[in-house]
């Protein structure tokens, strides 16, 4: 299954903005909505093409309320995401999956759970994506995320144009 994750703009509550509008609500009605990170909406689709089509259907809302639209296609990478533009380029055969791993945007993942009572669901909050950093992969190793201290990172493959190359 291909996953889509919409990362909301800091100024809005993304879930509210999407579900309060009929067209977006209808486009998302058949999906099980999740929030893997703070202020995100994630769904699973059947294919890369379906993921890109969903993003195209939601474009009006993405422009207004979303900082990043991410796609995870297991046939390309099990643990790295694709930007919306890169996912569309792969779907359109403008680029092959082998050509996608050079330019990266790496987000820090900040844990927000309350350590005082880890079993209390009221104190549990999803992790937060922080400060993306652009890096170029040379070889097998990704440069270390150094913008702040984080335990984890989320790697997103981007196009050369998004990278600024």
Tens-digit pLDDT profile for residues 119-142: 666 667 899 999 999 999 988 888
Q: Are residues 45 and 69 in the same domain?
A: yes
Total domains present in the chain: 2
Confidence label for 164 from pLDDT (cuts 50, 70 and 90): confident
Q: Are residues 93 and 108 in the same domain?
A: no
- Considering 47, 76, 99, which residue would you say is the last residue of a domain? 99
Alpha helices in 29-152 (DSSP H): 48-57, 59-65, 84-91
Q: Are residues 49 and 80 in the same domain?
A: yes
- Considering 79, 99, 119, which residue would you say is the last residue of a domain? 99
- CA 29/CA 26 separation, integer angstroms: 5
Q: Residues 112-116: what's their mean pLDDT?
A: 65
Q: Are residues 72 and 37 in the same domain?
A: yes
Full residue range of the structural domain in which residue 127 is found: 103-163
Q: Are residues 156 and 125 in the same domain?
A: yes
C-alpha closest to that of 109 among 131, 88, 77, 87: 131
Is-above-0.75 flag for pTM? Answer: yes
Q: Tens of pLDDT along 48-63?
A: 999 999 999 999 999 9
Q: Are residues 134 and 95 in the same domain?
A: no
Buried b (16+ CB within 10 A) or exposed e, 100-123: beebbbbbbbbeeeeeeeeeeeee
Q: Are residues 55 and 70 in the same domain?
A: yes
Q: Tens of pLDDT along 55-93?
A: 999 999 999 999 999 999 999 999 999 999 999 999 999
Q: How many CA atoms lie within 13 A of 159 on its CB side?
A: 14
- Considering 49, 81, 99, which residue would you say is the last residue of a domain? 99
Asked whether 150 and 74 are in contact (CB, 8 A), the reply is no
Q: Sign (positive/negative) of CA torsion 150, 64, 81, 135? A: negative
Q: Are residues 44 and 113 in the same domain?
A: no
Q: Is the pLDDT of residue 116 over 70?
A: no
């Amino acid at each position: 299954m291909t996953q889509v994750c919409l990362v909301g703009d800091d100024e809005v509550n993304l879930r509210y903005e999407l579900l309060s509008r009929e067209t977006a609500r209808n486009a998302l009605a058949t999906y099980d909505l999740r929030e893997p990170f703070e202020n995100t909406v994630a769904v699973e689709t059947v294919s890369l093409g379906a993921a890109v089509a969903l993003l195209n259907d939601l474009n009006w809302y993405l422009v207004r309320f979303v900082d990043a639209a991410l796609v995870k296609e297991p046939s390309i990478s099990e643990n790295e995401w694709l930007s919306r533009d890169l996912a569309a380029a792969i779907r359109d055969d403008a680029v092959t999956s082998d050509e996608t791993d050079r330019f990266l945007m790496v987000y820090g993942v900040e844990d927000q759970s309350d350590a005082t009572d880890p079993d209390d669901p009221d104190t549990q909050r999803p992790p937060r994506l922080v400060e993306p950093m652009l890096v170029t992969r040379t070889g097998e190793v990704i440069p270390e995320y150094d913008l702040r201290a984080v335990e984890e990172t989320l790697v997103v493959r981007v196009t050369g144009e998004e990278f600024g190359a």
